[in-house]
Amino acid sequence: MTGRLVLRARAEQDLRSAFEWYEAERAGLGGEFLMEVGKRLDEIGQYPEACPVLYREVRRALVARFPYAIFHVVMPNKVVVLAVLRRLNDHRSRLRTRPARNEHRSAP
């Protein structure tokens, strides 16, 4: 099944934060991060059910070269990307609850 890919606002914010952090580490690294995420998103769009289910219907796709995972849900006509998070964190609690508006991450 090939589906339309929809990024939730949370996922877009995750990508922005990670991009900014990597750019601060080294100029151009943020762009490399986005390229790798883009490749993985293309694969998810082509084969959304190829990724393992991590929690309920939420699937996890790992990003090459960077310690990030893309969390998504496969629906009948689309694939919804819920979040793009560092693999080193406990994701179950973050996938169940929404962060507070004033939540600030110092590093992605």
Task: Please tell me the predicted confidence (pLDDT) of residue 79.
Answer: 96
9-25 vs 29-46: helix crossing angle, rounded to 10: 150
Ranges of each domain in the chain: 4-96
**pTM score, whole prediction:** 0.81
CATH class given for the domain over 4-96: alpha beta
Q: Which residues pair with 72 in a beta bridge?
A: 59, 81
**Tens digit of each residue's pLDDT, the chain (108 residues):** 556 999 999 999 999 999 999 999 999 999 999 999 999 999 999 999 999 999 899 999 999 999 999 999 999 999 999 999 998 765 555 565 444 443 334 445
Task: Please tell me the predicted confidence (pLDDT) of residue 88.
Answer: 73
Task: Please tell me the predicted confidence (pLDDT) of residue 86.
Answer: 93
Strand order through the sheet with 58-62:
4-7, 78-86, 68-74, 58-62, 53-55
Any idea which residue has 């929690």 for tokens? 55
Q: Which amino acid is at 54?
A: L
Task: Please tell me the predicted confidence (pLDDT) of residue 3.
Answer: 65
Task: Please tell me the predicted confidence (pLDDT) of residue 94.
Answer: 57
Task: Please tell me the predicted confidence (pLDDT) of residue 99.
Answer: 40
